[in-house]
Amino acid sequence: MSVSTTVEQTDNITPLQILAPDGTVVRPDLMPKLSDQELREVMRKMVFTRVWDQRAISLNRQGRLGFYAPVAGQEATMIGSQSAIDKKDFILPSYRDIPQMVWHGLPLYQAFLYSRGHVHGGQIPQDVNVLMPQIIIAAQCTQATGIAMGFKLRNEKQVAITYFGDGATSQGDFYEGMNFAGVYKLPVIFFSQNNRYAISVPFEKQTAAGSVVIKAKAAGIPGVQVDGMDVLAVIKATQDARERGLNGEGATLIEALTYRYGPHTMAGDDPTRYRKGEEQSEWEKLDPLVRFRTFLEGKGQWSEKDEEAVIEEAKQAVADAIKQADAQPKMKVSDLIDVMYETLPPGLEEQKAEYLAKESK
């Protein structure tokens, strides 16, 4: 089936889809229960995130940001899933999942500081239930399972959701986390953003499985494959998974079929070296913002004026956040040593004294 019509099917699975690429509703019976205002807010976040992403790429090229992984193309998976959970739920992200963290409450300027390697970027506010982005591939899967076990032991009505790419599903932590969650029926959502490439390695080169979602069977948990360019389908899948977790039915694996339009990261990756032919242009026809915008315009809930207002809002927010990040005191090695332990061991006390002596000169 052509990608310009829908995302491809694998393992004879039909991905969950509510909105067709032309913005028409194909499964009205599955529409998530959202008010017009809530639908508009989802669109606002998606547009804001696209503009923020463009600005972050520019800032990286100017040397004003450090590590950055572009997100354009994956807004529906990110915003849709985050919109479907509660603020008290816990997010365990990978390094690309900064939007979910920010929309869950992390101040944008701290996200910029994280990119720069500044310690304050990792000092999460007390009321924001996120962990720092995980760089070790799939390590967040076992951590999410541990957090979910804590929720279950304390009888707390919360879920943990963890994000990872398709490449992470070939790692041991992915299987171990899901297996443990399956055995103990834990309230955790494993959310795979399958953008078809583990950096430059195509999906079919790093697993013989025809899909990610089929791997849920080995853990004895439900798996849902969803059109990751359809934000309403993502919301529906995440809402259902959250309800299963809260009701004591256990974990869910969601595979969102999506695509990143930019490089894996800004650290020298060139996607033109491993993407061939018309692949990118075909996926651009499935742009999640275009699809959802068309749907909302048909309902009379979005306009060019609305879009322009959000674009200006995002530009100003990014400018303000980078200014706030710039105003943060520069890091010193002694500062880094201070935050490593509550009580410093003798060896680090000695190192700190040495650095303080150097810094005072």
335-352 per-position pLDDT tens digit: 888 888 889 999 999 999
Phi and psi for 198 in degrees, rounded to 5? -95, 90
Contacts of 187 (CB under 8 A, 6+ apart): 148, 151, 152, 158, 159, 160, 245, 246, 248, 250, 251
Residue 5 has pLDDT above 60, yes or no: no
**Whole-number pLDDT of residue 8:** 54
Average pLDDT rounded to a whole number, residues 132-158: 97
Average pLDDT rounded to a whole number, residues 219-248: 98
Average pLDDT rounded to a whole number, residues 195-206: 93
Angle between helices 36-61 and 304-326 (to 10 degrees): 50
Strands 188-194, 252-257: parallel, antiparallel or unpaired by DSSP?
Answer: parallel
**Whole-number pLDDT of residue 69:** 97
Residue 157 has pLDDT above 90, yes or no: yes
User: What is the C-alpha separation between 152 and 1, in angstroms, rounded?
Assistant: 42
Residues classed as catalytic? 260, 264, 274
User: What is the C-alpha separation between 22 and 1, in angstroms, rounded?
Assistant: 16
* Tens digits of residue pLDDT in 320-331: 999 999 999 998
Average pLDDT rounded to a whole number, residues 152-179: 97
User: What is the C-alpha separation between 285 and 142, in angstroms, rounded?
Assistant: 36
Contact 361, 334 (CB under 8 A): no
Average pLDDT rounded to a whole number, residues 226-243: 98
Query: Model pTM greater than 0.85?
Result: yes
Residue 2 has pLDDT above 80, yes or no: no
User: What is the C-alpha separation between 107 and 329, in angstroms, rounded?
Assistant: 17
Contact 254, 189 (CB under 8 A): yes
**Whole-number pLDDT of residue 7:** 53
Helix (H) or strand (E) holding 252: strand 252-257
* Tens digits of residue pLDDT in 8-54: 546 778 999 999 999 999 999 999 999 999 999 999 999 999 999 99
Domains of the chain (ranges, CATH numbers): 28-329 (3.40.50.970), 331-361 (no CATH)
